Structures are given as structure tokens and as C-alpha cells.
């Protein structure tokens, strides 16, 4: 596809709308979006009628933009996942419900959809309502969690709050009061130490506490963000029995201070945690828009359907699932006919170890060579703002992303060009990248604070930004379609990045925080508090620019540093590095390829 500006795309859309306006029969009605007297959505049949000169990639992209802006359903998908279904822990009935709902949606939109099994869990877990509060105190309800796959209470459970004994002597003092009590850990002032307990005494204490019949244990979340995670590796005949509450830090401190002051403190918790016997089969949801020319080659667009269950699983990762589903709906509504199959996947088991995507790579090894690219949206609700790509795929990716560079000036898009992919096991793109398949994790920008919501009590529907969700759905749809229509699959030359050149310093911005004694910088005479001014004549203003310029070009880098009021020109020579020969080879082959392409043009 040739680069086409947004204005040209919108102009083309208007032309198509006018050309189709004369036919208002049901044959041309868009059954996936309400019609408007002013605007008519163009279907594939309309494009056929207009002839081959109009039926091209740009026309479909123009349709996507028009429909995505006029009638996005991204918020509706997100609302259903978060509010109708709720959190979707791997092995829970909620996740199974979400899988069936997504499967039905994809099929209703006309995609070929199925469930793809990747494994099983020995025990299933469902979290019901949970609540807690302090008795007799005018305070807000507790904000807390319990870890997934752990015990709940048998209905409302009220009890006194005691410090948990840490020695047998402490146990003897409160032994008669432990039954039915909630135990909290004692905090120690800085500089003081916990009692030293030998293993034999610790084991005896643990056994005694297990028999004492406490209501459960309360510990501090460490901060006011309450994080939920959990260990799924449990057996049906050895289910966890102790209730362990993780309480917001300030609320925990208030309890501990009251107990320390000798006050009589009571709390009540009602925690509906339920186990059910497995094995519980686990699946990814897979849906295809079949390719017209290369149906056995794939572009994968994805997010993970599972979530932790301390909140609603909104930004992690119902947002990514909603944009993936909406991208599929938009493409089908526009009658897109990609050359390669676009495969939409909603993974599960991501939170416990990328199980769904790892299982897919394991079970579909025969596909890996034929997968052009994998796109993963798993960074929250901020808009999709870019991609990290290799030098060798830059030409293809600029073609793919051409409509995005001026799609919305308020949400700019940028390609970051790197020497190669560096494996980072932080989401579902990683198993593919580890197998040599271009796996992309979207860059995201915007006003949302992902850290504040990630796995916390604030991961709720209200935290999602709908304008970002609508924009990201459109970005995902355009990139999927254009990637599927490339002349060839995504370039994998020199896919794996070489280890980066290192100076032997720690940086505070552009200032040296420390200098390793035997590092390259020390050999060049650099000192703590020196400031990097330029590298090979390129002015430096950020730490990221230092890293970027250091990896470019040949092994001999001329670096200007500032020491006090003096500037000093130094040289870092990486020629002896074990990877420099490979860097030279890559640069040579890239230059030869570029020259060959220029000769073809001439």
C-alpha cells in the first residue's frame, strides 16, 4: 500500500459514501451498525460495484476510520467483561463464561471462531463477594484482598485482634485467647530486631497455631494499593485452610496501633472463596478472518482474557480484549478481505506465567514460520502510540503504519527503530519472540496511571478511558489489515538483538552517578559527575539518547563530556568486543541490500 494521508483517506470515504448513497436497499444495509441519513457505511459489495480502481487497501482503511469514529463498540465490550461478567481468574467459572461470550461475539460478526485448549488446572477457584470492617468504630469499610486459590470464611466471622505469637513464650501468654481471634503481625521500629527463633521452635509454633483455631491472619499490604496474586499449584486433597487477609497499609497500621495501645479491638470479615474439583480445562479463544490469497499465513492480534480477581480486571486486561474484539468487528463490518488470515486471540493463563501463549507456540510449531507478526495489547487503557521494530523491518512497518502518523494529532504514533528484538518475558508476545516470530508489545501513552490500577483494588471499569479505547481499536484494525496485505511476511533478518555496548557507568540522566573501575569509561578517564554532552557529534539531552547513539555506527565513538566548566573530547573504542564482528557483518549486509534496492529503482 502506498502512503496515503488521512485527508486523502477521508476524501475517499466521502466519495464512496456518495457513490453508494443512491442504493438504500437492504442489500447494502450495514447489519452491524445503525445507519444514518447523513452517512452510509460502505460494504464489500459496494466496492465490487465501484470497480477494481477503488477496491484497494486505502479504501478499506478509509472505511475503518469512518466506522471506527462513528460507531465504536469498544466501551460496550469492556463494560460486559468488567460489569456483567466480572474478574476472570484462570480456572474460574467467570473465565469460562467470558470465553463462551467472546466466542459467540466473534461468530455473530462472521468470524470462524473456536476454543483452543492449552492445558488444565487441578483445582478451580471462584471468588465471591468479600467485605470487612472494624466493630464499633466509625471508620470506612476495609480495603483488602485474599490471595487467589486461598481459603475464605464460612460466612461473617467476627473476632478479637491479637498480635501473632512469634515465640513459644509469646504463645503461652495468649494461648487461651487465640481461638476465633484474628492474628496480625507485629511491626518493629527501625533498628530493633525480631526475636531469633530456631527452626525446631518455629516448627513447633506453627503446628500449635494451626491447632489453636484462630479465625485467620491479617497482614499489611505495605502500601495503600492492595495487590492480588496467588499460587494455583494446589491439590484437591490438600486445599489451603488458613484465611489470610491482606489489608490496606494505613488501615492495618490503625489496627496494630490500637492493639499496641492495649485497646480491645474486634473486626469482622465475610469472604466467599470457593474451590471446585478439577481438572479444569483451559483455553484460548481464537477467531479468524480468513486470508484471500495466503490463508495459511497469519497476523495475530491479541490481548489476555484472564485477570486477577481482586477487582474487575479492567485495564489488565479487559481493555486489550475489548480493542482486539472491536478491531475484528470493524474489519468484518467493512467487508475487509485481507491477503493473509488475521487471527484474533484472547489468551488465558497470562497472569500465572504466559500459559496460553506459551501453549499456543508449543502446540502450533508448524505455524510459526508462517506467522508474519503478533500484536499484543496488554498495557492498560492508554492509547496505542507506537511499536518497537528492527531496522530490517522498518520499510515494511512504515508502509503498515502510514495511516497512523496523522490519524489523530492528539494521539501521535511513532516507530522506535532498534537493531533487533530483545526477549522480555512480560506478556504474551514473549513466547513468540523467543521462537523467532516478530512479537510486538504496543507502546502506550496517555493520562492513565497504569501502575495505580495494575493488579490493585482500582482495576475497575471506571478507570478506562473510552476515547483511548476507541482510538486503539482503530489502530489495531488498521495495522492488522495492512500487515496482512504486505507483499511478503514481516522481515526476520537479524531478528535477535546483539548485546548492547556498555560504557561501565551508572547514569543519573546524562550525569555519571558512578564509574566501574575496569569499564570502558574508566579507561577513557571519565569521573563521577561528568556529563555526557554529545556522541559522534550528536547532541545528548537524555539518558535514552546516550543508549541510542552508543549502539549506532562503528565501534569507535567520539564522546564529549563536561567536567565542571570544561568540555573534554574522549574516545570509547569497542573494536575488541566479541559482538563487533557480527555488528559489522550486519551493517555490510544491510548496506548491500539497500544498494540492490536502489539499483532496482534506477
Buried b (16+ CB within 10 A) or exposed e, 207-226: eebeebebbbbbebbeeebb
Of 380, 368, 273, 361, nearest to 317 by C-alpha is: 380
Do 457 and 65 touch, CB atoms closer than 8 A?
no
What is the model's pLDDT at position 501? 93
331-343 pLDDT, tens digit per residue, is 999 999 999 999 9
What is the model's pLDDT at position 53? 31
Buried b (16+ CB within 10 A) or exposed e, 382-419: bbbbbbebbbbbeebbebbbbbbeebbeebebebebeb
Q: Identify the CATH number of the domain defined by range 130-274.
A: 3.50.30.30
C-alpha cell read off for 302:
491479541
Give the predicted TM-score (pTM) of the model. 0.85
More confident residue, 36 or 601: 601
102 Cβ contact list (under 8 Å, min separation 6): 285, 305, 321, 325, 346
C-alpha cell read off for 457:
483494588
Q: Provide the percentage of residues in the chain whose pLDDT is more than 70.
A: 90
C-alpha cell read off for 272:
466467599
Do 88 and 98 touch, CB atoms closer than 8 A?
yes
Cis bond upstream, residue 367 (ω within 30): no
Exposed (0-12), middle (13-18) or buried (19+): which is 33, by Cβ within 10 Å?
Answer: middle
Q: Tell me what the pLDDT averaged over the chain comes to.
A: 90
C-alpha cell read off for 153:
470464611
The C-alpha atoms of residue 349 and residue 284 are separated, in whole angstroms, by 9
93-151 pLDDT, tens digit per residue, is 999 999 999 999 999 999 999 999 999 999 999 999 999 999 987 778 999 999 999 99
Coil vs helix vs strand at 417: strand
Do 386 and 414 touch, CB atoms closer than 8 A?
yes
Exposed (0-12), middle (13-18) or buried (19+): which is 93, by Cβ within 10 Å?
Answer: middle
Do 342 and 484 touch, CB atoms closer than 8 A?
yes
DSSP label at residue 314: I
C-alpha dist (Å) from residue 320 to 315, 323, 440, 454: 8, 5, 14, 13
Of 302, 276, 307, nearest to 287 by C-alpha is: 302
The C-alpha atoms of residue 246 and residue 8 are separated, in whole angstroms, by 56
Calculate helix-pair angle for 57-70, 466-484, nearest 10 degrees. Answer: 170
What is the model's pLDDT at position 28? 32
State how beta strands 294-304 and 505-508 pair: unpaired
What is the model's pLDDT at position 418? 85
413-468 pLDDT, tens digit per residue, is 999 988 888 878 899 999 999 999 999 999 999 999 999 999 999 999 999 999 99
Do 265 and 102 touch, CB atoms closer than 8 A?
no
How many CA atoms are closer than 13 Å to the CA of 489, on its beta-carbon side? Answer: 22
14-24 pLDDT, tens digit per residue, is 444 333 333 33
How many CA atoms are closer than 13 Å to the CA of 151, on its beta-carbon side? Answer: 14
Mean pLDDT along residues 150-162: 97
Residues belonging to the chain: 602
Confidence band of 601 (pLDDT split at 50, 70, 90): low
212-246 pLDDT, tens digit per residue, is 999 999 999 999 999 999 999 999 999 999 999 99
pLDDT higher than threshold 80 for residue 567: yes
26-79 pLDDT, tens digit per residue, is 333 333 333 232 233 333 334 343 333 334 789 999 999 999 999 999 999 999
The C-alpha atoms of residue 125 and residue 280 are separated, in whole angstroms, by 10
CA angle 324, 431, 313 (to 5 degrees): 45
Place of cell 546483539: 498
Of 42, 57, 127, nearest to 89 by C-alpha is: 127
505-581 fold: Pdz3 Domain (2.30.42)
Do 490 and 373 touch, CB atoms closer than 8 A?
yes
Q: φ and ψ at 512, to 5 degrees?
A: -80, 115
- DSSP labels, 69-114: HHS--HHHHHHIIIIII----TTSHHHHHHHHHHHHHHHHTT-EEE
Give the residue extent of every domain in the chain. Answer: 6-65, 72-123+279-484, 130-274, 505-581
The C-alpha atoms of residue 483 and residue 373 are separated, in whole angstroms, by 8
More confident residue, 25 or 366: 366
Pick among 3.40.50.1010, 3.40.50.880, 3.30.360.10, 3.40.630.10: CATH of 72-123+279-484: 3.40.630.10
Q: Provide the percentage of residues in the chain whose pLDDT is more than 90.
A: 78
More confident residue, 587 or 246: 246
What is the model's pLDDT at position 51? 35
Do 407 and 413 touch, CB atoms closer than 8 A?
yes
The C-alpha atoms of residue 2 and residue 12 are separated, in whole angstroms, by 14
Confidence band of 308 (pLDDT split at 50, 70, 90): very high
Of 563, 540, 562, 561, nearest to 552 by C-alpha is: 540
What is the model's pLDDT at position 193? 78
What is the model's pLDDT at position 553? 87
328 Cβ contact list (under 8 Å, min separation 6): 106, 109, 111, 287, 289, 301, 342, 344, 477
Amino acid at each position: 500500500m502506498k502512503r496515503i494521508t488521512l485527508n486523502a483517506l477521508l476524501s475517499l470515504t466521502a466519495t464512496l459514501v456518495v457513490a453508494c448513497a443512491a442504493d438504500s436497499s437492504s442489500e447494502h444495509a450495514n447489519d452491524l451498525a445503525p445507519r444514518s441519513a447523513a452517512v452510509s457505511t460502505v460494504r464489500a459489495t459496494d466496492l465490487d460495484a465501484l470497480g477494481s480502481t477503488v477496491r484497494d487497501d486505502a479504501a478499506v482503511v478509509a472505511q475503518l476510520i469512518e466506522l471506527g469514529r462513528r460507531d465504536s463498540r469498544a466501551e460496550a465490550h469492556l463494560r460486559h467483561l468488567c460489569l456483567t461478567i466480572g474478574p476472570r481468574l484462570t480456572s474460574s467459572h467467570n473465565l469460562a463464561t467470558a470465553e463462551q461470550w467472546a466466542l459467540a461475539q466473534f461468530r455473530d460478526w462472521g468470524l470462524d471462531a473456536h476454543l483452543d485448549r492449552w492445558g488444565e488446572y487441578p483445582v478451580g477457584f471462584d471468588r465471591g463477594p468479600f467485605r470487612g470492617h472494624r466493630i464499633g468504630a466509625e471508620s470506612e469499610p476495609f480495603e483488602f484482598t485474599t490471595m487467589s486459590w486461598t481459603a475464605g470464611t464460612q460466612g461473617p466471622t467476627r473476632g478479637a485482634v491479637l498480635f501473632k505469637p512469634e515465640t513459644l513464650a509469646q504463645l503461652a501468654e495468649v494461648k487461651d485467647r487465640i481461638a476465633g481471634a484474628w492474628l496480625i503481625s507485629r511491626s518493629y521500629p527501625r533498628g530493633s530486631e525480631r526475636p531469633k527463633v530456631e527452626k525446631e521452635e518455629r516448627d513447633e509454633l506453627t503446628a500449635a497455631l494451626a491447632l489453636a483455631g484462630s479465625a485467620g491472619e491479617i497482614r499489611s499490604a505495605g502500601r495503600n494499593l492492595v495487590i492480588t496474586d496467588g499460587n494455583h499449584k494446589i491439590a484437591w486433597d490438600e486445599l489451603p485452610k488458613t484465611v489470610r487477609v491482606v489489608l490496606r497499609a494505613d488501615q492495618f497500621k490503625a489496627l496494630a496501633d490500637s492493639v499496641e495501645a492495649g485497646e480491645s479491638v474486634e473486626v469482622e470479615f465475610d469472604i466467599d472463596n470457593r474451590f471446585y474439583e478439577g481438572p479444569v480445562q483451559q483455553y484460548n479463544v481464537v477467531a479468524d478472518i480468513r486470508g484471500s490469497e495466503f490463508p495459511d499465513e497469519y497476523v495475530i492480534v491479541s490481548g489476555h482474557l484472564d485477570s486477577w480477581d481482586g477487582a474487575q480486571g479492567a485495564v489488565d486486561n479487559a481493555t486489550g480484549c475489548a480493542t482486539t474484539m472491536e478491531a475484528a468487528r470493524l474489519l468484518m463490518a467493512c467487508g475487509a478481505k485481507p491477503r493473509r488470515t488475521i487471527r484474533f486471540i484472547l489468551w488465558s493463563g497470562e497472569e500465572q506465567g504466559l500459559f496460553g501463549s506459551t501453549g499456543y507456540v508449543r502446540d502450533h510449531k508448524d505455524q510459526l514460520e508462517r506467522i508474519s507478526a503478533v500484536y499484543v495489547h496488554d498495557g492498560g487503557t492508554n492509547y496505542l502510540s507506537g511499536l518497537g521494530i528492527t531496522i530490517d523491518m522498518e520499510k515494511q512497518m512504515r508502509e503498515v503504519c502510514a495511516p497512523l502518523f496523522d490519524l489523530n494529532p492528539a494521539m501521535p504514533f511513532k516507530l522506535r527503530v532498534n537493531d533487533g528484538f530483545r526477549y522480555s518475558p512480560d506478556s504474551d508476545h514473549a513466547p513468540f519472540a523467543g521462537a523467532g516470530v516478530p512479537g510486538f508489545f504496543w507502546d502506550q501513552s496517555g493520562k492513565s496511571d497504569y501502575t495505580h490500577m495494575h493488579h490493585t483494588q482500582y482495576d475497575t471499569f471506571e478507570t478506562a478511558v473510552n476515547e483511548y479505547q476507541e482510538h486503539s481499536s482503530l489502530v489495531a484494525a488498521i495495522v492488522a489489515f495492512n500487515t496482512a496485505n504486505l507483499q511478503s511476511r514481516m522481515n526476520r533478518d537479524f531478528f535477535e538483538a546483539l548485546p548492547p555496548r556498555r560504557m561501565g557507568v551508572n547514569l543519573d540522566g546524562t550525569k555519571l552517578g558512578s564509574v566501574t573501575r575496569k569499564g570502558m569509561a574508566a579507561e577513557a578517564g571519565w569521573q563521577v559527575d561528568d556529563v555526557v554532552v554529545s556522541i559522534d557529534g550528536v547532541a545528548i539531552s537524555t539518558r535514552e539518547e546516550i543508549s541510542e547513539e552508543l549502539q549506532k555506527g562503528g565501534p569507535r565513538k567520539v564522546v564529549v563530556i563536561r567536567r565542571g566548566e570544561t568540555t573534554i573530547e574522549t574516545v570509547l573504542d569497542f573494536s575488541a568486543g566479541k559482538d563487533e564482528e557480527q555488528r559489522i557483518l550486519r551493517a555490510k549486509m544491510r548496506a548491500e541490500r539497500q544498494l540492490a534496492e536502489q539499483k532496482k529503482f534506477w
